[in-house]
Structure 1
């Protein structure tokens, strides 16, 4: 069967023995370490796949598939609370269109796509911040006043001097990070040296939504029992619903404040709008629309990356794998 075994629906039909064999072949071919076979279940879907370790990060094998991406209508429709929320936003900002028309403005067109199988980092990663010892000589004396301030302030958890240094506190321990400017070209070269690349925008949409036809992988709207970041109630200590691993084992599309870089000639991002809609008071639904798997990628342009908002998810392509 060859590489077709890494494409759905064939992938789901693999025997336990064949699945284990394939995962071992992938580890041997790519140089990563196979940790375990794990079944991930979320939002009515599941995937039994390999979990690997590469350069200190966990990665999962995400199978490929022939899928439909993009959005042009609600599959389920909206509940009463979400409809009321959107109507209030449209009234306040004098938006003169229907709710589907409003949503469609930020979505990509419906299209077919062949998603390839990929090894994918389970979480995206920050850029440009080097962790150093708090006594590192590169931390200038004038910055240490911020360190002493953090040590004395029991309620504060971090202090950052813009694009220079950041101190983070957890319990009695303080970690220090120095900032470094990073370009897209430099990031790609670093990833390439380690055997990685980034997903394309269409691949990111597949990883985030799994080909779902609803607006989000969880459905067309957020239910009242979900714990949504930036909108949870006081005293709610549950983990954020959208940050929990999806059916591929990935934490993805869960924070609109954080851009996820995708492979392109110039800086292009998915998964958020830098928090613009949330900061603008548009509420949770409009706030999270840019994190939809169907949302239009944002071409920011240029090569300079923003180390406070841009994040990277390394992937490994399996194009030349022989099964």
Structure 2
């Protein structure tokens, strides 16, 4: 790890940390770049994509299908999932430093005294002590976001950033967006199950977003994965990757808003979930027009 810091002095080595997922553990180095943590990911040649369940048996699959709202009667659950996941393939992943937590695209924090916030004085007063004082986060017209955190109020303004502009800005410091292959490997950590914790959701055993939480979960999507990354944890945000895929890790909450089953709602946080071409084109249009406020991204730094 010290050799990495010596070769790339912009990254300061902090410590070695061990992360676990079930019976598996992984120890790696944590680095700092201007206040953001990165983890060292060794290169590998994993199998990626999805074509069948790794551990789920046929009877369990049939029971899950009965709960699905949008799985056609003439399709098996396996066929239904295969249509929404990337194809099975082998990939070559380079060694890299990957950002642990994603950043929000287009939102940037400003001081509460910023002159540009004056036109939102009414909304801010409602959030501080009025009708919205009990909520933790509020977005107004996709232009200002207010967050209540640790007893303090944080304000963010929105500025349109295209995919091309983001990539150009990242390249200035040697960073990139992950490719589809790299992102799937970062999210799944080499696991062949549909999600990193298995082929079934098990809300009584797994802490999942937007549902009641179990008291003593065996796994949690809110915790870092085996590589120490906070990734593929919520279907509402979409995470940017390089072209031509552009988006991974979510569907913008479409399934949740459409009244789908829990299995269908959380399929988008599978490492192998792939947006339909139609949805991808819609999101590209939203991104181009500055109409997307739920996009996130993480930087990777490929090691030579």
TM-fit CA distance, 1:260: 0.7
Correspondence 1:125 to 2:110: no
Q: For 1:282-293, what aligned pairs fall within 5 Å after superposition?
A: 282-293=260-271
- Give the TM-score normalised by the residue count of structure 1: 0.83
Comparing 184-193 with 290-299, greater Cα deviation is found at: 290-299
Pairing partner for 2:226 from 242, 247, 264: 247
For residues 1-323 of structure 1, what are the structure 2 equivalents within 5 Å? 23-30=1-8, 31-77=10-56, 83-90=62-69, 95-141=73-119, 143-153=120-130, 154-170=133-149, 172-223=151-202, 224-233=204-213, 241-264=220-243, 268-296=246-274, 299-300=280-281, 301=284, 304=288, 307-319=292-304
CA–CA separation in structure 1 for the residues paired with 2:96 and 2:90: 18
The number of residue pairs the alignment matches comes to 293
Q: SS in structure 1 opposite 2:206?
A: coil
| Counterpart residue number, 1:7 | none
Measured after TM superposition, the shift of residue 237 of structure 1 is 9.6
The C-alpha deviation readout for 1:245-274, integer Å capped at 9, x for no partner, is 111111111111111100115x71001111
Structure 2 vs 1, CA of residues 47 and 231 (structure 1 numbering), >3 Å: closer, same or farther? same
**Contact 1:79–1:221 (CA under 8 A) maintained in structure 2:** no
Q: SS at the partner of 2:250?
A: coil
Distance 2:104 2:48 in 1: 27
Q: Distance in 1 between matches of 2:173 and 2:218?
A: 32
- TM-score between the two structures when normalised by the length of structure 2: 0.88
SS in 2 for 1:181: coil
SS at match of 2:231: coil
Instruction: Give ranges in structure 1 of 5+ residues lacking alignment.
Output: 1-22
Contact 1:165 1:176 in 2 (8 A): yes
- Deviation per CA, 1:218-239, whole angstroms, max 9, x where unpaired? 1111233111111125x96979
Distance verdict in 2 for CA 1:83–1:232, change over 3 Å: farther
SS of equivalent to 2:171: helix
Q: CA RMSD in A?
A: 2.4
**Greater C-alpha radius of gyration:** 1
